[in-house]
A and B are shown apart, each in its own frame.
Chain A
């Protein structure tokens, strides 16, 4: 009897809790509807990855099924392996640096006391994020030119160079990574700056009373305070291991630097889409998504184990 009463109680509690939270749940609805329409329904198109797809026969028409044929075809291309390697190398560097550099920038910006100067710096480093790679591509070709570019002229003052950053396999990857970080670190630092401002100022006072200097305060108060957001960004970024940045590379590379600069996306674009090879292109997309999913899951579990970080 008593047990039954207890169950009733808890059910009642649950119902009243649900009633209380119903509006919040309903607020989720638009997002779920959008995700369902634009992300779940199109997944039906993944069947293309296993077909010899011909648009003329219709999306769900009488297409020829080839099993894993498209994946085998991708692996048989002469450049796939080197493109895969380039992708991972470039993307890992970009991921690592796009964590470290914006964090440092954010901490340094936070230390600035002149508000106007701080805002100016923030705006200036934020700006390149809004310029598309098509435009930046032309600009980089100019400023990195070995004969007339400003970068090589500057290096020439110290007797170095000239370096052909965009046409030499030794420098091409580095150029890609640095220019990408340069374009985006301002944007990244804004996120970290926001998380720094959320740290309780009392902690700094307490640390100062304990005799901690600026560096120690940063190490023991600021960084731990940012830990949550850093881990979150890291987990999310792991999904980008196979996205080395198509826009950027497509606008800067050339046959000479395919060896170090050709990534999966550019390879597939050149070989697949130009020839309307939808099957292989879909197969490559599916492959990339699967890898991303695995990496995000693994890094999420690790984050949970190592940093006790839970998103869900």
Chain B
């Protein structure tokens, strides 16, 4: 009897403990989060104190003033293997910006700091590459994902403390943000990567209308950045005439697809570079049958491709004047979906013919990017269409095989005529300010500040080079946006060519060219090779081809970059999904070109594609004209 009672008490207590544990778990989760931040905070102040004692004289000097403006007390202390060079560089960046903005007279009017420290919560979107580079930066300077050089600068210059409420891998960022939206727990300042989300936030009155703040606080340097692109990025963030976010645009020309050829194979087989598609087919035939890799087996394919048919054959489509993934303007000046045009049909017929002749590996439908990269590294493919960064996916092989060379040529077309390429404004994100936050101007001030001329210190700030891996793209770590320009790559390319022609190249360099120049002279041979192929002097680089296309007026903007309406949100993904399903079936010959294309047009009609086209044209009339 006694024993059973004991056991039952034991059981009761055990289960009670379990209940407490499980219930407690939820609460503890958030608590422990808070605790860690608090602990981190204390740790920081502690180290500050310790080092302040150790090098008090230096520290006092450091926090005094730069270029005649007082700095606020910093909370970060550089550690690691090279803290001195960190401090020196940060001081250089701030000094250069102070000098620049003193000269424009904006330093004490638009870019004022705050006497009382202001805490801003934000969110960080990161990717695996960032984690890698942070490992290096933590070792060298003691920076971390949660506190880095940008936060250090903002603290010293504006007395603004940035705290990350949460971090998410870039692929999960949108989902996490929407969850926060739904539960009403948005950070003070955050990046919205999706135009529809931005519009939804604006409609729900959750974010500030930044129009007036932009007028008052944006420096000329920031405004010029947007004007270069005819304010297209700002238009994308403007609804009913009100600006709701600071867009961070990056290169719009990234939409252009180039044709890449194995230069060493061309030379080995003594072939002429193709101008027409017929000549291109000849090269494919030669690569397949004449054993360019010299292993004695016909194991090479004509054209590399994956199941992402749109991207890997965009350059072929452009050759036909077809733009199946973009809104374009027809002869009458109204917008049409590129996939529905007669040119797209011709492009599909050509691809189907290539496939039938065996130039494309039939397995492409099961390939993702890694599989095609593997084929490239195993030298099974010598012709690829792709972005200018294509070369960086194959640079690994260059170190073991210096003779492994690729080059670009002007895009071939049916009869050798010049090809027009479509570009699309690309906005990586819009910086928004929570309506509950009292200082929306901080977003504009900080973005403006870093948009100033940093001079040669820009390279270290934005692309801190990791000696082992080449540059780390630091700007991904900033909680604000540093907008680029849609024509960034071209500007950089032209600037670099000036530098190559100059006796004193370093003095000619501006903006991104500073970092590009660093990459072009990097210690990492693979990266240097890849950058020379993309931005270097001489023929055969994608940038030289882009420059030529731009100068001859063969680059044009897509016709629609507005936020989708309800119908478009409901139906558009289904339409494009069906589009590429049918197109893939046409290419591999499951359905004839005529039947397949008609089937696609029927789908477009039945999914109300015509109504969507009407909406797109209405948007054009309101926004562009």
Contacts and interface: CB of A to CB of B under 8 A. Distances in A.
Contact of A57 (B18, B204, B370, B607): B204
A57 B573 CA distance: 23
Contacts of A79: 578
B367 interface: yes
A145 interface: yes
A33 B17 CA distance: 13
Interface size class of chain A, counting residues whose CB lies under 8 Å from the partner chain = 35 or more
Given A166-B366, A167-B363, A276-B178, A23 B12 contact: yes
In this complex, the member of B200, B367, B370, B570 whose beta carbon has the largest number of chain A beta carbons within 10 angstroms is B570
Given A22-B8, A23-B11, A30-B19, A256 B584 contact: yes
A51 B26 CA distance: 29
A77 B574 contact: yes
Contact of B581 (A145, A147, A252, A255): A255
A29 interface: yes
A26 B12 contact: yes
B15 A27 contact: yes
B23 interface: yes
Contacts of A138: 370-371
B588 to A, nearest CB: 6
Contacts of B179: 55
Contacts of B174: 276
A271 interface: yes
A30 B18 contact: yes
Interface in B324-368: 361-363, 365-367
B183 interface: yes
Contacts of B184: 58
B16 interface: yes
A271 B603 CA distance: 15
Contacts of A146: 362-363
B577 interface: yes
B569 A277 contact: yes
B365 A33 contact: no
Given A78-B603, A141-B367, A147-B363, A33 B204 contact: no
B12 A164 contact: no
A197 interface: no
A276 B197 contact: yes
Interface in B16-62: 16, 18-19, 21-23, 26
Contacts of B15: 23, 26-27, 29-30
A274 interface: yes
B497 interface: no
Given A23-B8, A78-B574, A256-B585, 19 more contacts: A22-B12, A26-B11, A29-B19, A33-B22, A55-B179, A55-B197, A56-B181, A56-B197, A56-B200, A58-B182, A78-B607, A138-B370, A164-B362, A167-B366, A255-B307, A255-B581, A256-B588, A274-B573, A275-B573
6 contacts: A23-B12, A34-B22, A141-B366, A164-B363, A167-B363, A275-B569
Interface of B: 7-8, 11-12, 14-16, 18-19, 21-23, 26, 174, 178-179, 181-184, 194, 196-197, 200-201, 203-204, 206, 307, 309, 361-363, 365-367, 370-371, 569-570, 572-574, 577-578, 580-581, 584-585, 588, 590, 603, 606-607
Going nearest first, the 6 A-B pairs with the smallest beta carbon separation are: A23-B11, A56-B204, A56-B200, A30-B18, A55-B181, A55-B178
